[in-house]
Amino acid sequence: MAHPRLLLSACAVLLALSAQAADVWRYKDANGIWQFTDRPVPGAEKVTSLPRAAARPAATTPAVTATAPAIDTAAAKRSAQQVKTDVAAVRADHCKKATENYEQSVASARIYKPDAQGNQQYLDADQIDAYRIAARTEMQQLCAK
């Protein structure tokens, strides 16, 4: 499932862009998926607490001279705002799709999954319940504010 990974990557980029010296924590959720946050969570490990410029090795840091152009802070703020807007749009789209998937699973009397040859393999009642629970959990994770 690539969508949650894309969302997590986008959030990690957003966190890195929005704070100069913010702590970033990561942990695996109950489904074994890496989650990133700016708040410590039990069992989380700190990823970084250094400013972006200080995190780079000295050899790759460009020398600043009197003739070097000043950093355009207005452009950086616009870029950061655009990233936030893009992440919010992607998150809303993923939430909408997960909600539709969950609602369809609840409304469906029979659910099937294709086997290796593409044939429909109908799920039994316990498998349907597990599928619906997984769909609801995914919806809650993707739609959480």
Q: For each successive 10 residues of the chain (145 residues), what is the average pLDDT?
A: 60 55 75 81 74 50 49 81 90 91 90 88 90 91 85
Looking up tokens 């989650």, which residue turns up? 35
pTM value surpassing 0.85: no
How many whole angstroms separate alpha carbon 95 and alpha carbon 141? 8
Query: Measured at the alpha carbon of residue 76, what is the angle toward residues 73 and 81, in degrees to the nearest 5?
Result: 125
Give pLDDT, residue 67: 46
Give pLDDT, residue 6: 60
**Helices and strands per DSSP (H, E), number in the chain:** 4, 5
Contact call for residues 83 and 9 (beta carbons, < 8 A): no
How many whole angstroms separate alpha carbon 95 and alpha carbon 34? 18
| Domains of the chain, residue spans | 1-68, 74-145
The alpha-carbon radius of gyration of the chain (Å, integer) is: 21
Looking up tokens 């994770």, which residue turns up? 141
Name 54's Cβ contacts closer than 8 Å, sequence gap at least 6. none
Contact call for residues 12 and 36 (beta carbons, < 8 A): yes
Give pLDDT, residue 137: 92
